[in-house]
Amino acid sequence: MNKVTNYISEAFEELKSNVTWPTWEEVQKLTIIVAIFSVIFALATWGIDTVFGKAIAGFFNWIKG
């Protein structure tokens, strides 16, 4: 149990002293960029899904004859 406590203590010390944390302004800017790209990616996925769905439906309607 002492090893686990020591490991956690050293991990927190590492986070406090050796990690360079971004400024609040950077965090806000990067969060907005991630949100915008997430929306763009979701719209692209929706568009591709719609196109393939219509193509597959058209193919099966063509096969049905």
Residue 48's pLDDT band (cuts 50, 70, 90): very high
Which pLDDT score, from 0 to 100, does residue 65 have? Answer: 76
Cut 0.75: pTM above it: no
Q: What percent of the chain has pLDDT over 70?
A: 100
Residue 9 has pLDDT above 80, yes or no: yes
Number of residues assigned to the chain: 65
Instruction: Give yes or no for a contact between 22 and 30, defined as CB atoms under 8 angstroms apart.
Output: yes
Between 65 and 2, name the one with better pLDDT. Answer: 2
Which pLDDT score, from 0 to 100, does residue 59 have? Answer: 96
Tokens of 45: 């996925």
